[in-house]
Structures are given as C-alpha cells and as structure tokens.
C-alpha cells in the first residue's frame, strides 16, 4: 500500500509521508528521487514532518541513522 505524502517544498524536499504500523518514513526530494527509511519511530517522523527546517532535521537525525531503500 502506498504511503500518503504531505507536501513540504522546503530545503530540497518535495514531500514526505509516514507509515506508523510499518515504521517507514518516505521522503521525495526535489530531484525526483524517493527514499524509504525503515525503523523510524513516531516521534522522529512527527518532528521531521513538522520541522521548519526539514532538510537540516533530515541530515542531522535521519540520513545516516536509519536503513534506507531507494524507491525511485
């Protein structure tokens, strides 16, 4: 089942969505690539999705901390 995204459009991130039951955060970048991060907890996802600086939060907290899979 596809993950529903919400538009972000800041700092190089186009949109993102979170599947709470699977603990998967999916991020679509302005470049068109989509990457899924697994094992992401609710709090991390919530803070990322509501961040005023999503790219900074992504780089500081998500990028190297969670296993990733390129979807597109």
Q: Which residues contact 49 (CB under 8 A, 6 or more apart)?
A: 6, 8, 16, 18
Range of the domain at 56: 6-70
**38 domain residue, yes or no:** yes
Q: Does 1 fall in a domain?
A: no
Number of domains observed in the structure of the chain: 1
- Confidence band (pLDDT; 50, 70, 90) for 56? very high
Neighbouring CB atoms inside 10 A of 50's CB total 10
The per-residue pLDDT for range 11-52, each reduced to its tens digit, is 999 999 999 999 999 999 999 999 999 999 999 999 999 999
C-alpha distance across the termini of the chain, in Å = 16
């Amino acid at each position: 089942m596809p993950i529903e995204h919400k538009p972000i459009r800041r700092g190089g991130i186009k949109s993102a969505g979170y599947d709470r039951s699977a603990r998967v955060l999916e991020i679509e970048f302005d470049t068109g690539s989509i990457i899924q991060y697994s094992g992401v907890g609710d709090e991390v996802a919530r803070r990322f999705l509501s961040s005023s600086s999503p790219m900074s939060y992504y780089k500081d907290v998500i990028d190297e901390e969670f296993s990733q899979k390129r979807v597109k």
